[in-house]
């Protein structure tokens, strides 16, 4: 069977005119006595291919009545420069094959625009839409751009475990992994007896690959993970998923400043890459009603200008002086809420900002304690509209200080023996961060709901498909 020509390749002038074969799904079919037109999509590009058919053609006549929106076809014929306005190429069909029908009485995606809410109910058909097609292509290119960024800088791609027995963030938002009979688990002293479970201890889906990333950075200097992470937090928001993908670089001999610089360089490089590799997709998405005016110009300038940076304490005083009444009152020591982050990015800075040196009590145990004894070398990158897209820090590399922090936090120090040993044998200052892949995609595509930038979102009450 001949290889089908991708419509993208045709529209990007990468295919010479002449004999070709294409296949895909019908967007529209217009019949008339002299000539029929089929607009065909194979999901490879924003634009569709215009097929021109002679209605007298036998292979067309047999199936013409069934060539409705959503039906799949293959067509062989001649790619020519289009004499008509509106498209550069058209495809003159010589032979047409109906592959799969889509009964117009039943197929839900007729040619009209559908709300993003409705499309979330038909995830199995959603990739057929122009919007989801564009998002899926941007997502794929973004993943590639991320790998390229790190590879070009001497980082090694690291596969960290998905099943884990440590809670990196210490937030207790873990999904359990067990092979016990949950209706009748073995018990000892009134509790579930995990010594009889598969791993002989409680295990969970990972919330972050960071701790394992640190282990490997202490051997090969610079690594990054890019994998799924899981959080059983009951956050039903437009920015949270229960399963999301995170990019986590970890670097030996990097201090907070190096980390801040890498995070900015990283976000900018990926945006620049996508502005060129996915230009058509981003223009298409920016033209949708939900997108903000000037979105692409904005991205361009974000890719080119340095991010603002400020200390947490400075952020607090900006918020205090703002004259705003926030739902969550502002005072030194609070965790920044979405409304605070958005004031800083959308109104104060009007762009991305790296906030550093947060109070130690609101951040994870592994962050390096500052000389003041009350803040840690944390770094969050906040962007307009979304707030936090990156969270990271310089790590505590001093054995005694780390041990004290583990004890103060109430964590079981015996469970972190290996993490402590990294500080006993050849410890070095090191840093890293985690970028929420879907948050970055929301930022770049302009999509307003995180459930629309992942093909199969998982959130409280929903894990279908």
What residues line the site for ligand 4AD (CB under 6 A)? 168-169, 208, 210, 231, 233, 240-241, 244, 246, 248, 388-392, 432-434, 436, 438-439
Cβ of residue 114: shortest distance to Mg ion, in angstroms? 34
Q: Which is nearer to ligand 4AD, 128 or 240 (CB)?
A: 240
Nearest to 351 by CA among 319, 320, 389: 389
Cβ of residue 210: shortest distance to ligand 4AD, in angstroms? 4
Query: Distance (Å, rounded) from C-alpha 389 to C-alpha 438?
Result: 9
User: Does residue 287 contact residue 336 with C-beta atoms inside 8 Å?
Assistant: no
- Quickly list H helices, 100-243: 116-119, 130-152, 210-220
Contacts to Mg ion from residues 347-406, by CB under 5 A = 391
User: Does residue 358 contact residue 312 with C-beta atoms inside 8 Å?
Assistant: yes
Cβ of residue 21: shortest distance to ligand 4AD, in angstroms? 41
389 touches which of ligand 4AD, Mg ion, none (CB within 5 to 8 A by kind)? ligand 4AD
Cβ of residue 29: shortest distance to ligand 4AD, in angstroms? 40
Q: Which is nearer to Mg ion, 257 or 388 (CB)?
A: 388
What are 406's two structure tokens?
A: 């583990």
Helix (H) or strand (E) holding 393, with range, is strand 387-394
x-or-dash string of contact with Mg ion, 130-159, rule CB under 5 A: ------------------------------
User: What angle in degrees, to the nearest 10, is found between the helix axes of 130-152 and 279-286?
Assistant: 130
User: Does residue 242 contact residue 460 with C-beta atoms inside 8 Å?
Assistant: yes
Q: Which is nearer to ligand 4AD, 178 or 449 (CB)?
A: 449
Cβ of residue 378: shortest distance to Mg ion, in angstroms? 9
Q: Which is nearer to ligand 4AD, 78 or 233 (CB)?
A: 233
User: Does residue 206 contact residue 222 with C-beta atoms inside 8 Å?
Assistant: no
CA end-to-end distance (rounded Å), the chain: 31
Q: Which is nearer to ligand 4AD, 377 or 439 (CB)?
A: 439
Cβ of residue 373: shortest distance to Mg ion, in angstroms? 22
Query: Distance (Å, rounded) from C-alpha 171 to C-alpha 146?
Result: 28
Q: Which is nearer to ligand 4AD, 244 or 343 (CB)?
A: 244
Q: Which is nearer to ligand 4AD, 6 or 168 (CB)?
A: 168
Query: Distance (Å, rounded) from C-alpha 434 to C-alpha 235?
Result: 19
Q: Which is nearer to ligand 4AD, 53 or 450 (CB)?
A: 450
Query: Distance (Å, rounded) from C-alpha 312 to C-alpha 318?
Result: 10
Q: Which is nearer to Mg ion, 47 or 392 (CB)?
A: 392
**Residue 149: partners with Cβ closer than 8 Å, 6 or more residues away:** 266, 269, 270, 273
Cβ of residue 87: shortest distance to ligand 4AD, in angstroms? 39
Helix (H) or strand (E) holding 269, with range, is helix 256-277
Cβ of residue 419: shortest distance to ligand 4AD, in angstroms? 13
Cβ of residue 391: shortest distance to Mg ion, in angstroms? 3
Among positive and negative, which fits the CA dihedral 180, 182, 187, 189? positive
User: CA gyration radius for the chain?
Assistant: 27
208 touches which of ligand 4AD, Mg ion, none (CB within 5 to 8 A by kind)? ligand 4AD
**Residue 410: partners with Cβ closer than 8 Å, 6 or more residues away:** none
What are 86's two structure tokens?
A: 């509106």
The site for Mg ion (CB under 5 A) is made up of: 391
């Amino acid at each position: 069977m001949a290889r089908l020509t991708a419509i993208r390749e045709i529209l990007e002038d990468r295919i010479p005119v002449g004999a070709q074969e294409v296949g895909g799904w019908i967007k529209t079919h217009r019949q008339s006595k002299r000539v029929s037109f089929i607009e065909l999509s194979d999901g490879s590009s924003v634009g569709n291919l215009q097929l021109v058919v002679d209605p007298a053609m036998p292979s067309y006549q047999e199936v013409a009545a069934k060539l409705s929106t959503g039906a799949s076809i293959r067509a062989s014929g001649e790619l020519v420069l289009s004499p008509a306005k509106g498209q550069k190429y058209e495809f003159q069909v010589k032979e047409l094959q109906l592959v799969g029908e889509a009964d117009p009485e039943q197929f839900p995606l007729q040619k009209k625009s559908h709300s993003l809410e409705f499309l979330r109910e038909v995830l199995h058909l959603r990739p057929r839409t122009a919007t989801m097609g564009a998002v899926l292509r941007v997502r794929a290119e973004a993943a590639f751009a991320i790998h390229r960024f790190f590879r070009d800088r001497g980082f090694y791609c690291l596969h960290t475990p998905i099943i884990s027995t440590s809670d990196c963030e210490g937030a207790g938002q873990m999904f359990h992994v067990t092979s016990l009979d949950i209706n009748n688990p073995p018990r000892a002293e009134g509790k579930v007896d995990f010594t009889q479970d598969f791993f002989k201890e409680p295990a969970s889906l990972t919330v972050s690959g960071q701790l394992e990333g640190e282990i490997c950075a202490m051997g090969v200097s610079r690594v990054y993970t890019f994998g799924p992470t899981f959080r059983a937090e009951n956050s039903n928001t437009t920015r949270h998923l229960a399963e999301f993908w995170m990019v986590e670089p970890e670097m030996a001999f990097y201090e907070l400043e190096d980390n801040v610089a890498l995070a900015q360089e990283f976000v900018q490089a990926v945006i620049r890459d996508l502005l060129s590799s996915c230009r058509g997709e981003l223009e298409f998405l920016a033209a949708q009603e939900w997108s903000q005016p000037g979105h692409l110009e904005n991205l361009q300038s974000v890719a080119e200008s340095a991010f603002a940076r400020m200390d947490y304490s400075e952020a607090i005083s900006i918020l205090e002086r703002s004259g705003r009444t926030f739902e969550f009152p502002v005072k030194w020591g609070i965790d920044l809420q979405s409304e605070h982050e958005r004031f800083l990015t959308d109104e104060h800075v009007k762009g991305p900002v790296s906030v550093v040196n947060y109070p130690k009590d609101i951040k994870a145990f592994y962050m390096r304690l500052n000389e003041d004894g009350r803040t840690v070398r944390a770094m969050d990158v906040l962007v307009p509209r979304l707030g936090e897209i990156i969270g990271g820090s310089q790590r505590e590399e001093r054995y005694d200080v780390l041990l004290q922090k583990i004890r103060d936090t109430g964590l079981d120090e015996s469970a972190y023996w290996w993490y402590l040993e990294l500080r006993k044998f050849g410890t070095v200052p090191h840093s890293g961060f985690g970028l929420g892949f879907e948050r970055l995609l929301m930022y770049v595509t302009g999509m307003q709901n995180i459930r629309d930038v992942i093909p199969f979102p998982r959130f409280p009450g929903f894990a279908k498909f």
